Amino acid sequence: MRMGSMPNYSYEISTAAGTAEDPGKETEIAIAYGVIHFVGIRFPSGSQGELHVQLFHGKDPVAPTNPDGNYSGDDQYIPIKEFYEITTGPGFLIVKTWNDNAIKARSCQVHVQILPKEVLLPESRLTDVIVAFLRRLRVPLPWTR
């Protein structure tokens, strides 16, 4: 699979005024299987830290990895380096948001970049090829006894 063939996702998410943390607003964003290696969250100017964002895969927290944490900001882009592998389960992430402002709706952009594991960890693919080659030659592998 070529580098350019893996999708980068970008979503605009708006949250109504007064949306409480519990239950919050949940937005499903479709994704491909692979490794999430980068998440970026852009808060526009005027957000005043009132919009809060969390990302989940099923019930598992993706960003932040602390289930009680969240991201908020004002006129800033928060880049998050990540390594979250998705090989099974739902083909979507849940973006949970809530808005502390009782009058104005708030919005943010969420960017997700996914790559195949072989691209991020090429040595693991090389190891698989070497082990397969040694097995074909019937070389005893000490860790498989």
Interval 7-31: pLDDT, tens: 678 899 999 999 999 999 999 998 8
Cβ-based neighbours of 16, under 8 Å, separated by 6 or more: 25, 99, 105
Question: How do residues 21-63 score in pLDDT, each as one tens digit?
Answer: 999 999 999 888 888 889 999 999 999 999 999 999 999 999 9
Point out the least confidently predicted range of 75-79, 85-89, 129-133: 129-133
For 85, the domain range is 3-116
- 52 falls within a domain: yes
Query: Which domain CATH number covers 54?
Result: 2.60.120.380
Over the chain, what is the mean pLDDT?
85
Residue 138 is assigned to a structural domain of this protein: no
- Which residue from 119, 117, 116, 98 is spatially nearest to 108, judged by alpha carbons? 98
The pLDDT > 90 percentage for the chain reads 51
Is residue 10 assigned to a domain?
A: yes
Give me the number of domains the chain comprises: 1
Q: What is the pLDDT of residue 8?
A: 79
**Other beta carbons less than 10 A from residue 96's beta carbon:** 20
pLDDT top residue among 87 and 14: 14
Task: List the structure tokens of 120.
Answer: 């991020």
pLDDT tier for residue 122 given thresholds of 50, 70 and 90: low
What SS3 class is residue 39?
strand
142 located within any domain:
no
Query: Which pTM does this prediction carry?
Result: 0.76
pLDDT band at 85 (very low <50, low <70, confident <90, very high): confident
- Residue 18 CA, chain-centre distance (Å), reads 26
